[in-house]
Structure 1
Amino acid sequence: MNPPAHLQRLGRFRAALAASPPLWWALLYFFSLLCGYYVLRPVRDAMAASADVSAVFPQAWIAWARGAGFELKDFTLQLLFTGTFVVMLLLQPVYGALVARFPRRVFLPVVYLFFIACLIGFWWAFDRNASGRGALFFIWVAVFNLFAVTVFWSFMADVFDNEHAKQVYGYIGAGGTIGALVGPMITRYLVGPLGVANLLLVSVGFLALCLLCILKLRPWAMRREREHGEVSGEQAMGGSIIAGLKLVWQKPLLRALAMLMFFGVGVGTLLYNEQAAIARQFYPGAEASTRYFSTIDWAVNTLTILIQLFLTRWLLRRYGVAPTLMIPAIAILVGYCLLALSPLPLLVAMVQVATRAGEFSLAKPGRETLYTRVDRESRYKAKAVVDTVVYRAGDLSFVWLHKGLAAFGSSVVFTAGIGVALGFLFGAWRVIRAQRALPDEGAPGDHPTTQPPIPRRAQRA
């Protein structure tokens, strides 16, 4: 008698882990990265919601705003999102120069060492309660999250080819989800004994683990490039420092991915902001609202990891990226239609869970497999533009759009959101069409999970 399907899938997961050193290191890498980020995220959110405006903005800004006749605290989120977009845009040429002029073995560690150095600087600022630390920290955490995760998935596309990515990306995503669950628990239990400032050093420790994983995965990336006859990432990529922007404009797939990202951020931003307004109305007490949001986070992470372990791999291997992109897009469209009719807190929570879980468990792994089939300049430079500049442009656009729509009530916000959800669905369709023109890269020779270890000489290369 055959075991149940869910036990068979767990058995395949255990077999993949037992046979695959790169999968182990990739899991540890993504777990450490998201765990370190989610240790920081509550600190960031607390800063953004702080009643002490001097903790968020410098005193000079506060005085200037009052002289101009308004209070900065009335526009905190809008200003923080605007600042994040501006910084992200300014950093694109810097990142492009780093990727163009230095080989992978240099720029990957440099990115994470830079973030570690910044965290040590913020530790000093928080320890001394420096004025204006909140805005700077909020923007930095947003930049860190997008750039660090983008670099991670770009590197994974160097380590795993398309066929292997379909098999393991769901598992790797599950490792990140576990990190997203553990990080807030660490913050919750250690913020009392350690204090806010010292929590930043805990995140430093997780980023150090990421550096170790990069070193361990590098030989596997070199092997994959040799087997497929690709230009080695151990050489500087070259090209323009703004090549990423040009590639997104020129290539149909990258344009489609940018559209998908923009409208995907839009549906999430409108829902997130309106959910906060509805929660304030129906759950005015701190305890009730905290319980409401924590229940949503628990449901999102639970549903995400179940889908990642039991469905994502099967969908990608059997049907490709189409269902992983279309299922979340259709679910969001249906959700917004229901919310336009009845914006009740329970329904908002259900749509939020479906939206975020669908993004983390299906849409994200599906999009990332596509980057295994493009050239390295698109993989690193163009991907960074889509994941950072386009992402934050969406944030900026829709946080201000919500500010205008919110005055007319939740039903108007969600009705407008139907149009945004249609844009998201159209973007998913465009990506599915454009990716058909890509080469369907297979795996030459043996599966990397079944190959013998790399000789020591190759490991030292």
Structure 2
Amino acid sequence: MTAATGTGTAAGGMLSAWRRSPPLIWASLYFFCLLSGYYVLRPVREAMAASSDLQAVFPLPLIEWFAGHGIALQDFVLQFLFTCVFFIMLVLQPLYGALVSRYPRRVFLPVVYGFFIVTLLGFYVMFETGVPGRGMAFFFWITVFNLFAVAVFWSFMADVFSNVEARAYYGYLGAAGTIGAFLGPIITSALVQRVGIANLMLVSAGFLLICLGCIWRLRLWAVAREQERELVSGETPMGGSVFDGLKLIVREPMLRWLALMVLFGVGVGTMLYNEQASIVRRLYTDPAASTAFFSRVDLAVNALTLVIQLGATRWLLSRYGIAPALLIPGVAIIIGFSILAASPLPLMVAMVQVMTRASEFSLAKPARETIYTRVDRQWRYKAGAAIDTVVYRGADLTFAWVHKGLSLFGSHIVFLGGLVVAGAMTVAALGLLREEKKLPGERPE
């Protein structure tokens, strides 16, 4: 079978799945628009983080404060940004916990996306008028958006689909998202130098409006499924403490292993991301040019992700369970970092970046999300969100500074350190698999 034939067969399987499951059509449109909207803006974030224009990134009082204390802020851009993002997450996580504890699904889902749409309109004004510090504010916003909006999506999908359906459909669902992620950088690359960065905010807001329509439609199937199987209704508030998610992570072994796997997986990505950003900062001085570079990297990531999702994800999850999907990315990252430790060339860094992110999106992420279909709503909406926000950004913060220390000794040492982190991620995946075997076949409520 040729590659083209294999991809065509997988695409045919996706169309067949859509015909069998109308909710999958709406869920696919939802994820398509969500990732399209995000990937339209992701290159803007990368360009801001790699910008040599401090006033575009930071507000003037902050620049003056660092200068007055003899600190070269341009040497700590990513470390400063990731540190701030972590503390923002510490503030927002209890607020999100309060939202999902006190309000039903029909309220908190639209509120989350409505907030992001309104703030995008604010960023349109900031970039249109060139407000100093817009880069920092946007970096904070899109990092929060990426984590909360995607975490809410996957939690909602576990309300709509059973575990059996998740293993059959999550590969196709991920592929729909990847097609959207593929479209986003194309839009950015085609438009950014013609219409400017500010107008990209409006494009993204339009995609999020479509997401709201999909949420309204999918909620009907979630309610019907809960009534049919006599599950606890998502149309009633969950109750409990705003810190229940963090308490569950501390108490439950499976959640602890899951948190550790995310921690070290993010650590590997952060070290690679920071090294790539330092290279781009040396090679590109124009924000539009660096935005175009990052959009090309995103296109390569999404192309590889789509091929894997259509050709392997569903087959692996349905036939062998989550084990291969969790372990293959770790092996691939270890191989990639071994190559970089020996030869840290810019092209190789970009290639390993593509491989690392593609394996996470196409295999590890869908595999982890199927677990949430077998646990109660507190686990996925509270603990799952805590892992995807506080743990995720805590890893960003920790390994941004680890990278800064290791980078003093050169790229070779950075990638040797990354090898150790990738090994720890693989050990955590093995621990997660051991605990996952103790779960029932279908999630309790």
TM-score, normalised by the number of residues in structure 2: 0.93
Moved more, 23-32 or 295-304: 295-304
* Correspondence 1:122 to 2:123: yes
> Separation in 2 of the partners of 1:25 and 1:82?
37
Asked if the contact 2:37/2:184 (under 8 Å) is kept, the reply is yes
Asked if the contact 1:161/1:441 (under 8 Å) is kept, the reply is yes
- Structure 1 residue 284, shift from structure 2 partner: 7.3
Aligned to 1:142: 143
Q: 1:51-89 CA deviation, whole Å, 9 max, x = no partner?
A: 332222222111211111123222111111111111011
> Separation in 2 of the partners of 1:346 and 1:199?
28
> Separation in 2 of the partners of 1:194 and 1:6?
35
Asked if the contact 2:185/2:299 (under 8 Å) is kept, the reply is no
> Separation in 2 of the partners of 1:347 and 1:73?
25
Closer/same/farther in 2, CA of residues 109 and 442 from structure 1, 3 Å limit: closer
SS in 1 for 2:76: helix
The runs of 5 or more residues in structure 1 that have no matched partner are: 444-461
> Separation in 2 of the partners of 1:125 and 1:150?
27
- Structure 1 residue 246, shift from structure 2 partner: 0.2
Moved more, 222-231 or 83-92: 222-231
SS in 2 for 1:70: coil
> Separation in 1 of the partners of 2:32 and 2:166?
17
> Separation in 2 of the partners of 1:53 and 1:294?
22
Aligned to 1:14: 15
Q: 1:75-114 CA deviation, whole Å, 9 max, x = no partner?
A: 1111111111110111011000000000000000000111
Aligned to 2:325: 324
Asked if the contact 2:162/2:373 (under 8 Å) is kept, the reply is yes
Asked if the contact 1:279/1:345 (under 8 Å) is kept, the reply is no
Aligned to 1:235: 236
TM-score, normalised by the number of residues in structure 1: 0.90
> Separation in 1 of the partners of 2:39 and 2:297?
16
One-letter amino acid of the counterpart of residue 302, structure 2: N
- Structure 1 residue 178, shift from structure 2 partner: 1.0
Aligned to 1:219: 220
Asked if the contact 2:83/2:397 (under 8 Å) is kept, the reply is yes
Q: 1:217-261 CA deviation, whole Å, 9 max, x = no partner?
A: 001111222233210000011000110000011111111110000
Q: 1:307-329 CA deviation, whole Å, 9 max, x = no partner?
A: 10111001000011000001111
1:293-442 to structure 2, matched below 5 A, reads: 296-441=297-442
One-letter amino acid of the counterpart of residue 349, structure 2: V
Closer/same/farther in 2, CA of residues 245 and 172 from structure 1, 3 Å limit: same
- Structure 1 residue 292, shift from structure 2 partner: 7.2
Q: 1:186-234 CA deviation, whole Å, 9 max, x = no partner?
A: 1222334433222211111111000000001001111222233210000
**Alpha-carbon RMSD:** 2.3
Aligned to 2:110: 109
Q: 1:115-165 CA deviation, whole Å, 9 max, x = no partner?
A: 111111222222222222221111011001100000000001111110000
Closer/same/farther in 2, CA of residues 289 and 155 from structure 1, 3 Å limit: closer
- Structure 1 residue 301, shift from structure 2 partner: 1.7
Aligned to 1:97: 98
> Separation in 1 of the partners of 2:24 and 2:351?
33
- Structure 1 residue 442, shift from structure 2 partner: 8.3
Asked if the contact 1:62/1:71 (under 8 Å) is kept, the reply is no
Larger radius of gyration: 1
Closer/same/farther in 2, CA of residues 276 and 191 from structure 1, 3 Å limit: closer
> Separation in 2 of the partners of 1:406 and 1:242?
36
Asked if the contact 2:309/2:362 (under 8 Å) is kept, the reply is yes
Asked if the contact 2:29/2:214 (under 8 Å) is kept, the reply is yes
> Separation in 2 of the partners of 1:235 and 1:128?
43
Give the length in aligned residue pairs: 441
> What fraction of aligned residue pairs are identical, expressed as a percent?
60
> Separation in 2 of the partners of 1:108 and 1:306?
31
One-letter amino acid of the counterpart of residue 171, structure 1: Y
Asked if the contact 1:325/1:362 (under 8 Å) is kept, the reply is yes
Aligned to 1:450: none
Closer/same/farther in 2, CA of residues 413 and 308 from structure 1, 3 Å limit: same
Q: 1:328-378 CA deviation, whole Å, 9 max, x = no partner?
A: 111112222232233234443332222111101100110111111111011
Closer/same/farther in 2, CA of residues 37 and 408 from structure 1, 3 Å limit: same
- Structure 1 residue 167, shift from structure 2 partner: 0.8
Aligned to 1:448: none
Aligned to 1:257: 258
> Separation in 2 of the partners of 1:232 and 1:66?
55
* Correspondence 1:208 to 2:209: yes
SS in 1 for 2:438: coil
Closer/same/farther in 2, CA of residues 123 and 436 from structure 1, 3 Å limit: same
